[in-house]
Amino acid sequence: MSIAALLIVLLVVFRLVWSVAVTAPADQRLQDGLLALEDSHQAMLDMDASLRGYLATGDQFFADSATDAAPALAAADSQMVNLLEEPQLRQDVLALLLAQQRWRTEWADQARRLPPPGGAETFLKQGTALFDDYRARKDATRVDVLDAIETADANAVAAQWVIGVLIALIGVGTLVVALRGRSRLQTHVVTPVDGLLASVRGIGEGRLSPPEPVTGSAELVALRDGLADMTVALRRQREEAAAQAERLQSQTDRLRTILIMTREIAGSLNTRYVIDSTVQAAVAVTDGRVLLWLLEEDGNGLELAYDSDRGAVSPMETHCNLGVGVVGRSARYGQISRGDPDTGEDAAVAVPLVVGARVIGILECYDSPDGEVDGQRLSAVEMLATLSGSAIEASRLHAATERLSQFDPLTQLANRRRLGADLDSAVANAKRHSSPMSVIMLDLDHFKELNDRYGHQQGDVVLQEVASTLRTAMRDGETAYRYGGEEFAILVTRGGPDDAAKLAERLRVRVEEDFRRGDKQLVTASFGVAGLPEHAGDGEALLSEADRALYSAKNAGRNRVHRAGGLVD
């Protein structure tokens, strides 16, 4: 009876230990994941409602409310990532996080711009579609989590039944053995059971070695065989669990790397920073060398932008044609392509960066010493390419827009807006170092007559040629700007009025010579020069004095140089 009681206690303890070590943490993880899923959804609803309120009213309060909801969403998502440890939920959770990220990247981040891109109605429909996709994946994930909880509860009940059945069997067996007498019990039960108990204690202490053979009743032999089988099964499961845990940890680390990278580049419009972050994240995911290629402006090839072994690469240093090699094939067909070492290609995989239906670049990932970039690694790289492609395209569009805002599209010279910023900086620097600086204003003479006689198209050609003349004549510390119409400005940051007057005279002669056609003079230019501190004390006054000198030259007969305070010979 004491042996039976001991076996029953061992079974109960085993059940309790299993519950504490395995069942309870899994149940708690599922419950916490379900709560995090609901918290994340509530934060998404709050952000969506606030952004729609902002789009409808333009009230900054709603935009601030959306921003305030972001930390709650990030905290819920971090908690929900723990569901990735459940194999049956991993795909749903990944799809949910991806749908959520698409909604934030393609709609929520754009919703802070008024008016929204594409028009309010179209933009709201786009947001509704992205949010509906997210909601559908959220509902599917919630159903699967509830199913997992229900399954865990059912397994717990089944385990209780199994333990009860085992206890009942041990009780019946013990009663039968007790009736056989003390002698047979000692010979055929006590000794073998002691050996089996030693094996059970060893198993409980983590020594998963099969028990020694026993002699005795068939029940004890069967119990020994069962323990041996259980020991082998536990050893196999422990090895598989360790391998699975390692794989899950590796995948979790990759996903965490991608999430961190996504947060870092989400608000960045610096193309170089976005490219660097993308490559570093890809290296962390693949454990190998990574190259990032960008599509050239003409769309006929790709240029290498970043090499993880070398860092940033100079423009056009390395070129790849569409359709040629693993990178060219991936760019042409918009699909993942793997190099074939048998044909001389590198052992690498090329993953396209697709924005909309257009390939804007390629991530070329070389195989690491651990193996090829495939399976979960390749899936992580695909996700990384999807997220980073939009960020890179957005940063490049921002850079192009920024350039257009500061340069004149006709002459490709910096415009009046850029002049204002550069002039303020130059004046501050000149005052700080007590050094001279000057401004030259020039205007093309009789330009209206040229337009009337030859047409505005020819006038544009003349403006472009004058801009080219100015650009080629500039030296270090001299910058030309299109001030407006046929008027130009030159900022001289390293010279006083005398130096600027000499430069103006050289330019006047160049314009006169470049635009003489036989005995006809198509156009000439008049110049005005002013310097700091001789003629003005700040940038605005300096421009005004140079402009007055320019009109003095105009009134004196044109095609000449005047400076504030006197005529330049």
H or E element at residue 140: helix 120-179
Amino acid (1-letter code) at residue 232: V
Q: Mind giving me the DSSP string for 332-357?
A: HHTS-EE--GGGT--SEEEEEEEETT
Closest CA to 352 of 336, 367, 341: 336
Answer yes or no: 486 catalytic.
Answer: yes
All residues at 6 or more sequence positions from 536 whose CB lies less than 8 Å from its CB, including other chains: 530, 542, 544, 545, 564
Which of 372, 486, 505, 545 is flagged as catalytic?
A: 486
Task: Please state the φ and ψ torsions of residue 356, each to the nearest 5 degrees.
Answer: 70, -120
Q: What is the CA radius of gyration of the chain?
A: 39
Burial class (CB in 10 A: 0-12, 13-18, 19+), 250: middle
> What DSSP character marks residue 59?
-
Distance CA 528, CA 533 (A): 16
How many Cα neighbours within 13 Å face the side chain of 335?
6
Q: Are strands 487-492 and 311-312 parallel, antiparallel or unpaired?
A: unpaired
3-state helix, strand, coil in the chain (%, to 5): 65, 15, 20
Q: Are 144 and 89 in contact (CB under 8 A)?
A: yes
Contact (Cβ atoms closer than 8 angstroms) between residue 388 and residue 265: yes
Helix ranges restricted to H, 180-299? 182-185, 191-204, 218-266, 271-286
Distance set, CA 515 to CA 166, 209, 360, 511, 519 (Å):
107, 99, 44, 6, 11
β-bridge mates for residue 398, sequence order:
none
CA distance to 29, 331, 438, 476, 494, per residue, from 470 (Å): 70, 41, 16, 13, 17
Largest CA distance in the chain: 139
Dihedral sign of CA atoms 292, 295, 300, 303 in order: negative
Helix (H) or strand (E) holding 526: strand 525-532
SS3 state at 488: strand
Phi–psi pair at 345, nearest 5 degrees = -85, 155
Residue closest to 566 by CA, chosen among 547, 549, 543, 542: 549
Whether the ω angle into residue 533 lies within 30 degrees of 0, i.e. cis, is yes
Tokens read off for 274:
């976005």
Residues with catalytic function: 486
